[in-house]
Each structure stands twice: as structure tokens, then as C-alpha cells.
């Protein structure tokens, strides 16, 4: 087993499925492998993340455009990288993120170009961007433009190591598939 930290992003349309898998993987990393693990989420628990959550919950007015909202999400990601993700990786911990950069790309592509949202990451985060060792894409059978965007990002082969799991499968099968994708990285 490697002694290096591992960064896994759990992406997809269903935040409930993402949270459940993250909790199961936390137990797997800690109990089965004896590794330090920290789970983070987007939006984060930071100031920007709280603002995003209030917008999502309707407690603050929505921003005028999807681009403005995604910009706020990338700013939150940068805060999360500096405040939580990088420090924990430097300590040698495994980091699980519920949602990450594929979320911004997939949502952004609903009304903008992929390049526009890649540039947004370059402009805000730049060289401090940390890319996951593995992104687990929890695919749901519903047909939607958002799902199509996630699948395109996974299948085009330009956005890192992405493992697609059918989230309609039983929880134990989903976890087994995720563990099988993670094991070669340990």
C-alpha cells in the first residue's frame, strides 16, 4: 500500500448518493485500511460555501446568470483547497470530496462553453488547482442534459481518471465498485 495521500472526488447528479458513498468510503479507509481520511463537500463549510447554500435553499436571491453562480462555486473550491484539501493531503490523509470540478464543468456546459469554465478555474485557482487522483461519477439512469454533460466529460478522456458507477445498483455493489477503482491507487 502506498504511503502517499489520495484525493477522490465523488461526482454526479444525485448529491444524496454522493453523500452515502462518501460515508461508506470514510469507514472503508479508516476501519479497513487504517488510513486517515477527511470528507469535504461542495458547497463547503466556509463563508463562500454558506452563501452558495443559502442561494440554493432560496434564502438569498439567485445570481443573474449560471456563469456568476459557477464562478462563486469555483471561488468556494479555491477556499476549500487552501483551507482543507491541501493541508490534509500534506498531512498524508485521504480526502474525499462530495462534488468537485466536474460539477462546475457539467453545470456550466448547460448554457456555456466548456472552455469558458476551464478558463474560470485557471483564472481563479490557477496553478494551485489540485486534481483528484480519481473521480467517481455516480451515474443515474434519468435522461437529462446534465447527465449527458457528466458522461461526455468522463468519456472524452481529458479530465483525469474517471470511473463511472451506476448509482441505481444496490449500495453494497456501488461501494464494491468504488473500492475496486480505488485499490490500484493505494
Average pLDDT over residues 23-27: 83
Name the grid cell of 84: 482543507
Average pLDDT over residues 75-84: 97
Q: pLDDT digit string (tens) for 65-76? A: 999 999 999 999
Distance of CA 89 to the CA centre of its chain: 16
Average pLDDT over residues 22-51: 88
Q: What is residue 1's predicted lDDT score, i.e. its pLDDT? A: 46
Domains of the chain from N-terminus onward: 7-185 (3.40.50.300)
pLDDT at 99 over 70: yes
Distance of CA 108 to the CA centre of its chain: 15
Please give the Cα distance from 35 to 17 (Å, whole number): 23
Q: pLDDT digit string (tens) for 152-180? A: 999 998 999 999 998 888 888 988 899 99
Amino acid at each position: 500500500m502506498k504511503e502517499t495521500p489520495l484525493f477522490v472526488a465523488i461526482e454526479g447528479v444525485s448529491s444524496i448518493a454522493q453523500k452515502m458513498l462518501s460515508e461508506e468510503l470514510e469507514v472503508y479507509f479508516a476501519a479497513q485500511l487504517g488510513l486517515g481520511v477527511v470528507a469535504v463537500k461542495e458547497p463547503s463549510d466556509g463563508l463562500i460555501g454558506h452563501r452558495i447554500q443559502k442561494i440554493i435553499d432560496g434564502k438569498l436571491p439567485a445570481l443573474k446568470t449560471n456563469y456568476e453562480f459557477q464562478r462563486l462555486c469555483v471561488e468556494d473550491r479555491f477556499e476549500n483547497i487552501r483551507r482543507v484539501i491541501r493541508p490534509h493531503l500534506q498531512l498524508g490523509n485521504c480526502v474525499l470530496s462530495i462534488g468537485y470540478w466536474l460539477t462546475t464543468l457539467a453545470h456550466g456546459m448547460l448554457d456555456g462553453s466548456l472552455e469558458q469554465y476551464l478558463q474560470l478555474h485557471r483564472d481563479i485557482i490557477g496553478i494551485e488547482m489540485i486534481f483528484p487522483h480519481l473521480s467517481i461519477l455516480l451515474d443515474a439512469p434519468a435522461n437529462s442534459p446534465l447527465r449527458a454533460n457528466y458522461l461526455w466529460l468522463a468519456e472524452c478522456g481529458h479530465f483525469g481518471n474517471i470511473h463511472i458507477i451506476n448509482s441505481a445498483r444496490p449500495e453494497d455493489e456501488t461501494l464494491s465498485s468504488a473500492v475496486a477503482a480505488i485499490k490500484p491507487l493505494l
